[in-house]
A and B are shown apart, each in its own frame.
Chain A
Amino acid sequence: MDAERIYTVELRNVTLGYGERVLFSGANLGFGWGEFTALVGRNGTGKSTLLRTIAGLAKPLHGEIVVDGEPVGGMTARELASRISFVSTDEVRITNLKVADVVALGRAPYTNWIGSLTAEDRQKVVESLSLVGMSAFAHKAMDTLSDGERQRVMIARALAQDTPIILLDEPTAFLDLPNRYDICLLLRELAHKQKKTIVFSTHDLNVALELCDTMAVIENGRFHYGPTVKLIEDGDIQRLFEGTAVLFDAETKTVKMK
């Protein structure tokens, strides 16, 4: 990894796990500006836990996570919320809840005690909705949307939060193929154009390999991180599928049946 890259999220000797179970230990890596990173690994390797820990929802067993040079552990919820936004797998399909209100909640770290929106806040909400192509849905209720539309709204909410870092936990999990590409293309564009650090976990290796600048692979409790091309050269992707029914074809950059 080049030393010149500015790391906005850094793991310093981080060990993650719950109870007796250690998911991975002594991990050191950093995600940088304007980077679109996929976090891949088999089920139960700790992708979700890692994202949740960076977002401040869980604590590492050991080591520390540093955002913008400051340890996450020492920040208040509000301080962290102005640096990192998080799109979780929690379903938000509440009756009567308007799309624009959900996106406006992204402004929560900046609004007053009752959440009144200033002209600037309103502007951000409008911009965010337009960036994800959901402007026409502003006054619709969340329970009337499709899974793909809801996911876009949750991403718009993260954009309205106006943070340099956006983390997404399996944002494409329930989406059809065109929607998966659409969402990932959208995220890549945001990372590159708005210079945001976007890290998302996924099982969709084909999409990730095609679209991501860098990848973080968790395999047998070890971390492999780097530019997508380099991970393929080093054989890190291939190793993910050892002893399974599928294999990775480095030529075509695709995963297929043996």
Chain B
Amino acid sequence: MTAKRRNILAFAVVSVLILILFVADILFGSVSLSAADIWAAITGRADSAGDPTAYDTVRSIVTKFRLPKAAVALVAGAALSASGLQMQTLFRNPLAGPFVLGISSGASLGVALFLLGLPLLGTGAGGEIVRNLGMVGSAWVGSALIFLIIMAVSVRIKDIMVILILGMMIGSAATAFIEILQYFSPEGALKSFVVWSMASVGGVTAGQLGILLPVCGVGLLLSVLLIKPLNMLLLGENYARTMGLNVGITRGVIFLSTTLLAGTVTAFCGPVGFIGIAVPHVARMIFAEADHRVLMPATILLGAAVMLFCDIISQMPGHDIVLPVNTITAMLGIPVVVLVIVRNRKIF
């Protein structure tokens, strides 16, 4: 009972934290805005001199950049973390995650083929909608393909280290192929790809947001529907099956969910590493639970909080430089992963 009460408190704290970080993410940036300015801009109030257009710049910064950016950070963090938790339970591997298993690399390769490969063939992407759909579609195909390979191997080989090494090899192969593509690419295409690969939650346009939010919403809904099957899979596939789980369908839904979550985020934010692998462990440490009824919402909320935090840091408040967000996620995530390896406690 006390553990239950503690968890409720932890959920409340994390929720409040998300709210604070969300507001902070809107306030801080290369131009620091005061809460009063933003409030005035949103409510459309005139300034003391009676000029109704005084806050137009602020309004434009907030609605066109800061708000979408904060929303993307929130959703991307939740999405990557939920997909990481699903992979860790499915593969019974504490070190699984979309980045480590090469799923993000698959998505990157898909985007690279679309952004670099098509111009090489002389058929550049058309309008913005075509470009967005092409990017997300090629990211889905890329991540789905890698996930299928990893699943096919994991059915035959039960050694978790083999799966991890395979994931890293696939990731390296994808990176190598991308580098070859870059070498042959014209400057324009190359620039847009390099900007993409620096990973940022701020570069997402309104049109992309219109794809990202609903698709990740579906992926997160599937994650919640997977709570019971994931709990059953904790005991291993043999137990899950003899307790009445249709393991084939479950694998299919996990596949769909992780492809939508990791693929879409990678398509629009670039390859963001270490969120998917590290956040589920942070959730385990804080909540001391293995039950996905606690772990799944905890992971989703913590993922959102962590990604907002990383985005705030990457903006370097008070400076006009912006660091790629994946450098921050790596610096925060790697210590967690190292801690998990060093502790070497059996999680599965």
Asked if B346 contacts A95 (CB within 8 A), the reply is yes
B334 at the binding interface (Cβ < 8 Å): no
B241 at the binding interface (Cβ < 8 Å): yes
A94 at the binding interface (Cβ < 8 Å): yes
* Residues of chain A with a CB closer than 8 A to B242's CB: 55-57, 80-81, 84-86, 88
Asked if A94 contacts B348 (CB within 8 A), the reply is yes
By beta carbon, the residue of chain A nearest B244 is: A81
Which candidate, B42-50, B106-114, B212-220, B230-238, is the interface stretch facing chain A? Answer: B230-238
* Residues of chain A with a CB closer than 8 A to B244's CB: 76-78, 80-82, 108-109
* Residues of chain A with a CB closer than 8 A to B293's CB: 114-115
Asked if B290 contacts A95 (CB within 8 A), the reply is yes
**Given A105-B231, A114-B228, A95 contacting B345 (CB threshold 8 A):** yes
B23 at the binding interface (Cβ < 8 Å): no
Asked if A94 contacts B238 (CB within 8 A), the reply is no
A194 at the binding interface (Cβ < 8 Å): no
A101 at the binding interface (Cβ < 8 Å): yes
Enumerate A65-105 residues with CB–CB distance to B below 8 Å: 76-78, 80-82, 84-86, 88, 90, 92-98, 101-102, 105
* Residues of chain B with a CB closer than 8 A to A111's CB: 228
- Interchain CA distance A183-B171 in the complex, whole Å: 48
* Total B residues in contact with A, Cβ cutoff 8 Å: 28
A143 at the binding interface (Cβ < 8 Å): yes
* Residues of chain B with a CB closer than 8 A to A85's CB: 242-243
A15 at the binding interface (Cβ < 8 Å): no
By beta carbon, the residue of chain A nearest B247 is: A77
- Interchain CA distance A96-B346 in the complex, whole Å: 10
8 Å CB contact of B236 from A77, A78, A88, A139: A88
- Interchain CA distance A113-B227 in the complex, whole Å: 8
**Given A94-B290, A102-B235, A81 contacting B347 (CB threshold 8 A):** no
* Residues of chain A with a CB closer than 8 A to B225's CB: 113
Provide 13 A-B residue pairs closer than 8 Å at the C-beta atoms, listed in order of the A residue. A57-B238, A77-B244, A77-B247, A81-B242, A85-B242, A86-B242, A92-B234, A106-B243, A108-B228, A108-B244, A109-B243, A114-B293, A115-B228
Asked if A94 contacts B239 (CB within 8 A), the reply is no
Cβ of B295 to closest chain A Cβ, rounded Å: 9
- Interchain CA distance A143-B288 in the complex, whole Å: 13
Cβ of B302 to closest chain A Cβ, rounded Å: 15
B336 at the binding interface (Cβ < 8 Å): no
A128 at the binding interface (Cβ < 8 Å): no
* Residues of chain A with a CB closer than 8 A to B245's CB: 77, 108
A49 at the binding interface (Cβ < 8 Å): no
Cβ of A44 to closest chain B Cβ, rounded Å: 19
* Residues of chain B with a CB closer than 8 A to A98's CB: 290-291
- Interchain CA distance A54-B241 in the complex, whole Å: 12
